[in-house]
Amino acid sequence: MNVTDVINPANGAVFTTVPSLGLEETDAAIERARTAFGEWRRVAPGDRARLLRRFAAVVEDHLEELALLEVRNAGHTIGNARWEAGNVRDVLNYYAGAPERLSGRQIPVPGGLDVTFHEPLGVVGIIVPWNFPMPIAGWGFVPALAAGNTVVLKPAELTPLTAIRLAELALEAGLPENVFQVLPGKGSVVGQRFVTHPAVRKVCFTGSTTVGKSIMAGCADQVKRVTLELGGKSANIVFADADLSAAAAAAPGAVFDNAGQDCCARSRLLVEASVFDRFLALFQENVAKFRTSDPTSEESDMGPLISAGQRATVAGYVGGADVAFQGTAPSGDGFWFPPTVLLARSADDPHWREEIFGPVVSVLPFRDEAEAIRLANDTEYGLSGSIWTRDVGRALRVSRSVETGALSVNSNSSVRYWTPFGGMKQSGLGRELGPDALLSFTDVKNVFISMGE
């Protein structure tokens, strides 16, 4: 069997290998998932709920182990990695409430009784990127399982370890064999097979917009259901009337968290011209305090990038650009890059327009509300974003005008498992998390029962 090296990005060293599945092994796993679906969908809702709650408890018992695994495999800071493992637990607990509440409707019709059912789809294929291996896996597999589907999940080649461990923990919690399988391997082999195999009834893909488009086109062939969570180039809009200290204190985390490898990174910073210099001075103070260091350290705010290739891509955007200021980063082994603030010359600069997926933010001044909205929307992406202002009316007007799926006012956080998450325009299709996600793993069936006569 082929194997893939797993590298610690903080020192560049290979520390383990995992199998890389071929086509035959993928097909065999999908067949097992198809067989398991027959039984899993018939597990009584209360029992399915209990199993998901038990799975959450087992994740809680292994929280530190999962977090440390992610620090080593993805270079995430230990603080972030603990949040990520905790997010899987929370999402399991949240959707554990779903099987017992997955009600259809009774619709008044003449001549009989009409009821609807939310039927599970069958086998769901989930394809995960390397930037948030645990939460993104959970946002897919948890509601899919809660709705009665079985799951095959392909982690990213670079970061397979926590997903593999979660599948083991599912068995430990008592989930039946083959209800949740993790299949490490290449996107072009395992991931592509999810698209082409007729037994896989839905694909949930998180990753780049380019690959997402090819997945969507491939799924069209079988009218396969698809959810896409793709790239982003989100705007952080700071108005002159905002609490500038609070906005500047939050701005480094808004783009440098997870070393900027975050689809929600606010990588375009729009600042009202009248406070541009004052805001930048405050921002500089806060960037200087942002600690890029060994991710196992409790004090670390930011670890390394995921790979040498990613670091080279990021560096390519900085060379030749106007650097306003940079933070610091360790030297030596590992894929380190310092937090970097660039001044955009115009909205045509590649670093202003393209998703860099690294610790780089581009800054541009704007004159008034209308220009801020126009600049924020001048992109094919539309995933997240922030608005900083004390004017409630403006907060509402701008929120309604910015074309993006997950906005925050006077905050930079995008993800809460209770609320829908996903992108507008080319940032995605469909929504994960919150009350809506569950139904996207079902199809409505309408049944009419005649009264006779």
Point out which residues bind ligand NAD (CB under 6 A): 127-132, 136, 154, 156-157, 187-188, 191-192, 206-208, 211, 214-215, 229-232, 263, 355, 357, 383, 423, 427-428
Residue with tokens 């930079």: 412
Distance in angstroms (rounded) separating the CA atoms of residues 136 and 432: 9
Rounded to an integer, what distance in angstroms lies between the CA atom of residue 315 and that of residue 309?
10
Active site residue 229: yes
Asked if 219 is an active-site residue, the reply is no
260 versus 365: smaller Cβ distance to ligand NAD: 260
Q: Are strands 340-343 and 322-326 parallel, antiparallel or unpaired?
A: antiparallel
Q: Which CB atom, from 48 or from 233, has the smaller least distance to ligand NAD?
A: 233
Residue 328: strand, helix, or coil? coil
Q: What is the residue-wise DSSP string for 126-195?
A: EE--SSSHHHHHHHHHHHHHHTT-EEEEE--TT--HHHHHHHHHHHHTTPPTTSEEE--S-IIIIIHHHH
| CA 271, 272, 277, 279 torsion-angle sign | negative
Alpha helical stretches, state H, 349-401: 350-353, 369-377, 392-401
Residue nearest to ligand NAD (CB): 187
> What's the helix, strand, coil split of the chain in %, to 5?
45, 20, 35
Q: Which is nearer to ligand NAD, 4 or 284 (CB)?
A: 4
With a CB cutoff of 8 Å and minimum separation 6, the contacts of 13 are 7, 333
d(CA 78, CA 334): 17
Report the Cα–Cα distance between both ends of the chain, in Å, rounded. Answer: 65
Candidate list 84, 263, 272, 432, residue with the active-site label: 263
Q: Is 126 or 247 the residue whose CB approaches ligand NAD more closely?
A: 126
Our CB check for ligand NAD shows the closer of 282 and 306 to be 306
80-119 in b/e form (b: 16+ CB < 10 A) is bbbbbbbbbbbbbbbbbebbeebeeeeeeeeeeeeeeebb
Catalytic one among 70, 229, 355, 432? 229
Helices (H) and strands (E) in the chain, counts: 14, 18
CB of 369: closest distance to ligand NAD in angstroms? 27
- Min dist CB 85 to ligand NAD, Å, is 17
d(C-alpha 151, C-alpha 65), whole Å: 24
Enumerate residues 6+ apart whose C-beta is below 8 A from 174. Answer: 51, 54
Pair of tokens at residue 235: 């705007």
CB-wise, 78 or 163, nearer to ligand NAD?
Answer: 163
Residue closer to ligand NAD by CB (options 73, 293) is: 73
Catalytic residue annotation: 229, 263
